[in-house]
Amino acid sequence: MNGRVDVSVVVPVFNEVENLEELYSQLTKALHRREYELLFVDDGSTDASYEILAHLHAKDRRVKVVQLAENFGQHAALAAGIEHAHGEVIVTMDADLQSDPTDITLLLAKMAEGYEVVSGWRVGRKLMHYGEMHRFLGALIVRLGKSVAEVQVHHHPRWRGRSKYSFLSLLGLYLDFVTTFPSRIFQIVTLAGLLCTMVGLGGGFLYFPLRFLLDMPLGTRIQFLIFLVLFFGAQLTVLGLLGEFITRIFRLLQNRPLFVVKDYLG
C-alpha cells in the first residue's frame, strides 16, 4: 500500500470462524483494483475468530483487527471499526456472507455521482431476523447526511453458522430503538393528551349550557364520558411531559464508553 486508503471495509465479527477466510477471499477479489483496508472488529468472540483474523493480518497488512474486551453488540463494534478506519469511504457489512462483497462496486459507483451516503436495498432478502444494530447508525446517518441514495444489492443465504439474533435479542433491539429516539414518541403522547383534553373541554362547554340552561335530558353517561376524556387527556399530557423531561436527563447522564478495545492489529 502507498499509504492512501480509498475504501475501508468495516466488518463486526462475533463467533464467525466458519466464514472469515471465505469472506476475506471474496473481499480481496472484489477490491483488488482499489487501495483498501479490511477492518475486522472482534466483538468478544468465544470461538477461534480472533485467531483466524490474526492469521489473516499476519499474511496481509491490509487486514486490520480491533479486538474488543467483551461482547458490546454489533452496533458498538461498528462504531469501533469506523473510529479506527482511515479510508475516504467507509463500507460496513456483516461477516455472514449474506451481503455480496461484489456489490461494494455498486455502492462506490453511486457515491461517485455525488451522494454522501449510499445504502443497499436487499433484493430477495433471506432472513427477516437479520437485525439492525443497537445504535442504529442507519437512522443517525440519514439524519446527518445531506444526500442519501439507495442501490439494489444481493442478499444470500448465510454461508455457515447461524444468526446471532434470537427472539429475545430482537425484542431488546426494538426496545433499544424506542429508547434511542424517544423524544418524538413523548411529543406524540403529549399532543394526544392535549387533543383529548381539548375534546373533553369542548364537550363540557357544550354539555352544561344544553343540560342546565336549555334543560335537555342528556343523562349522566355523557357527563361520565366527558370526565373520562378529560382525565385520560390530562394523564397523557403529564406522561408526555414527564417522559420528555426524563429523556433530557438521560441524555445528559449517559456518558459511558460505547466500547473498550482490548487489542489492535494494524
Write down the domain spans for the chain: 7-165, 183-253
Best-predicted range by mean pLDDT (8-17, 128-137, 161-170):
8-17
Lowest mean pLDDT among 62-66, 84-88, 131-135, 239-243: 131-135
Q: What is the pLDDT of residues 180-190, one digit of tens each?
A: 555 567 778 88
Q: Which CATH superfamily is domain 7-165 in?
A: Spore Coat Polysaccharide Biosynthesis Protein SpsA; Chain A (3.90.550.10)
Helices (H), 118-219: 137-144, 167-180, 183-208
Kindly indicate the confidence band of residue 171, based on its pLDDT and cuts at 50, 70 and 90: low
Core vs surface per residue 50-61: b (16+ CB within 10 A) or e: bebbbebbeeee
Which pLDDT belongs to residue 138? 55
Q: Is the pLDDT of residue 40 over 90?
A: yes
Lowest mean pLDDT among 101-110, 120-129, 190-199: 120-129
Q: Is the pLDDT of residue 120 over 50?
A: yes
User: How far is it, in rounded angstroms, from Cα 246 to Cα 128?
Assistant: 33
Lowest mean pLDDT among 79-83, 165-169, 184-188: 165-169
Average pLDDT of 237-262? 78
Average pLDDT of 38-66? 96
Q: Is the pLDDT of residue 59 over 90?
A: yes
Measured torsion, CA atoms of residues 222, 228, 231, 234, in degrees rounded to the nearest 10: -90
* Residue 118 DSSP SS3: strand
Kindly indicate the confidence band of residue 253, based on its pLDDT and cuts at 50, 70 and 90: confident
Which pLDDT belongs to residue 28? 96
Q: Is the pLDDT of residue 172 over 70?
A: no
Q: Is the pLDDT of residue 132 over 70?
A: no
Helices (H), the chain: 20-30, 49-59, 74-84, 104-111, 137-144, 167-180, 183-208, 220-253
Residue predicted with more confidence, 161 or 45:
45
Average pLDDT, the chain: 80
Q: What percent of the chain has pLDDT over 90?
A: 34
Q: Is the pLDDT of residue 77 over 90?
A: yes
- The whole-angstrom distance between residue 251's C-alpha and the CA centroid of its chain comes to 17
Q: Is the pLDDT of residue 134 over 70?
A: no
DSSP state of 156: P
- Per the CB < 8 A criterion, the answer to whether 110 and 34 are in contact is no
Q: What is the pLDDT of residues 200-212, one digit of tens each?
A: 888 888 877 777 6
